[in-house]
Structure 1
Amino acid sequence: MNSVRTRIAALVLTFVLLAPALFIVAEAQHDCQGDECQVCQVLAIASSIIQTAADVSAAASEAALFAVFVLLIAARPSRAASNTLVGLKVRLDC
């Protein structure tokens, strides 16, 4: 059930991101009717949607890279745990 919802969400997201690009391609050579051209207004909105998606994608990529960086730092073994008084005494005995 969860897999079906995930696939439907992926299809809807793909359609939402591809529809503006397809509209721009289809109407790139339209017959403009001046300042109040509705096709030009929709083209501007479609371009804005694509730019927003690109910005969100870039932000998500940056967030993912930051998360990986933090996880790598957090996974690194800490030396503070071995710097106890007992640990230092054991090292001196060697």
Structure 2
Amino acid sequence: MTKKRRITATAMCLWLLLVMFVSTIYIIQESGHNCTGENCPICHEIQICQQILSTAGTAVLGAAVFSFTLFFLKALTSVHRRESAAVTLISLKVKLSD
């Protein structure tokens, strides 16, 4: 992964965390507001924040499961490679001199 891609991925993760944090803070602050009825703009904003948190939470969960699976599969293949390596005199660095 190039440095530019790594920086972009990190920035996107930080942006997602910021959006989730701000949405949560907004819901907490406005949970006790004086509702004006059916067309309350604050209730509408709270609903949008809840939808953002639900969607982002699903995406984060999917990414976490994918990352864990990838890590687990890499660990299994590295163990398998170590076990299946052929043991030869050269790999054991045995010097055959008379």
Task: Tell me, yes or no, whether TM beats 0.5.
Answer: yes
After TM superposition, the runs of 4+ consecutive aligned structure 1 residues lying more than 3 A away are: 1-14, 78-82
Is structure 2 residue 47 aligned with structure 1 residue 44?
yes
In the TM superposition, what is the alpha-carbon distance from 1:7 to its structure 2 partner? 7.2
Amino acid at match of 2:58: D
Structure 2 CA distance for partners of 1:11 and 1:48, relative to 1, 3 Å: same
Structure in which a larger fraction of residues adopt helix: 1
Is structure 2 residue 71 aligned with structure 1 residue 68?
yes
2:81 aligned residue (74, 77, 86)? 77
Aligned residues: CA RMSD:
3.0
In the TM superposition, what is the alpha-carbon distance from 1:56 to its structure 2 partner? 1.3
Q: Which runs of 5+ in 2 are unaligned?
A: 87-98
Give the TM-score of the pair, scaled to structure 1. Answer: 0.66
Q: Which runs of 5+ in 1 are unaligned?
A: 83-94
Aligned-pair identity (%): 21
1:57 aligned residue (54, 57, 60)? 60
Question: How many Å separate the matches in 2 of 1:29 and 1:62?
Answer: 36
Question: How many Å separate the matches in 2 of 1:34 and 1:72?
Answer: 56
